[in-house]
């Protein structure tokens, strides 16, 4: 006689929104000396100019050091590596987006039903990627850090929380990974740049996916 399939995983207790990891720790920024803060700003300005003039692929630690007229070691000390530098360029955008979905107006922010918030979240992610795609791809962490990087953790926790409200009987942690895979910058690049799909098609597909996962009736 065949074994009875094990029941679906018991959903975890909801995590309060304030328990989400902060995107980029701000505590160390006030501790920067005035000259260190100026150097950091100058390096980021130089890196932003290089991205605008040559594209993110041409941004190297050496090129940024030369453009900012500082030693290469200064760039490495400040940002660690090229990914750290490019991630810092995305920092302002990341913080704005985090503030919007954690505390901004609905439907992206609190106050709307969870399915509506999931819809708005994905649409905002797709539109943001369309604006910053090259930089997002260049700042993509390596395989060993891809799912543990603070920005990725914040997004995943947020989606998990919304899923626990919308479909509490699901394995929401795994489902959050599944949903976020559709918003991956590399996939968006492939579909829009290599396959020629219009962003509107990706947006419609996201809304359809959320509706199917949450059991929400499609809107007219």
Please tell me the predicted confidence (pLDDT) of residue 217: 61
Please tell me the predicted confidence (pLDDT) of residue 120: 98
Decide if 24 contacts 95 (C-beta within 8 A): yes
Give pTM, 2 decimals: 0.71
CA separation for the pair 48, 136 (Å, rounded) = 13
Please tell me the predicted confidence (pLDDT) of residue 134: 83
Q: What separation in angstroms does the CA of 125 have from each of 44, 117, 137?
A: 23, 12, 14
Q: Which residues of the chain have pLDDT under 50?
A: 1-30, 220
Please tell me the predicted confidence (pLDDT) of residue 171: 97
Please tell me the predicted confidence (pLDDT) of residue 17: 39
What are the pLDDT digits (tens) for 109-168?
999 999 999 999 999 999 999 888 888 888 888 888 889 988 899 999 999 999 999 999
Please tell me the predicted confidence (pLDDT) of residue 132: 84
Please tell me the predicted confidence (pLDDT) of residue 135: 84
């Amino acid at each position: 006689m065949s074994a009875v399939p094990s029941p679906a995983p018991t959903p975890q207790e909801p995590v309060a929104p304030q328990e989400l990891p902060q995107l980029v720790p701000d505590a160390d920024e006030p501790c920067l000396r005035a000259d260190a803060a100026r150097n950091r700003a100058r390096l980021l300005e130089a890196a932003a100019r290089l991205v605008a003039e040559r594209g993110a692929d041409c941004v190297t630690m050496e090129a940024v050091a030369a453009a900012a007229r500082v030693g290469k070691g200064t760039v490495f000390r400040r940002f660690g590596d090229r990914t750290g530098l490019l991630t810092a360029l995305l920092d302002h955008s990341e913080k704005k987006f985090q503030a919007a979905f954690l505390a901004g107006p609905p439907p992206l922010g609190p106050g709307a039903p969870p399915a509506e918030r999931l819809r708005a979240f994905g649409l905002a992610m797709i539109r943001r990627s369309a604006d910053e795609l090259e930089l997002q791809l260049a700042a993509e962490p390596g395989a060993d850090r891809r799912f543990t990087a603070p920005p990725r953790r914040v997004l995943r926790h947020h989606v998990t929380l919304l899923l626990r409200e919308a479909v509490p009987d699901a394995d929401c942690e795994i489902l959050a990974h599944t949903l976020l895979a559709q918003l991956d910058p590399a996939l968006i690049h492939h579909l829009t740049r290599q396959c020629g799909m219009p962003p509107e098609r990706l947006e419609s597909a996201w809304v359809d996916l959320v509706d199917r996962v949450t059991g929400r009736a499609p809107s007219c």
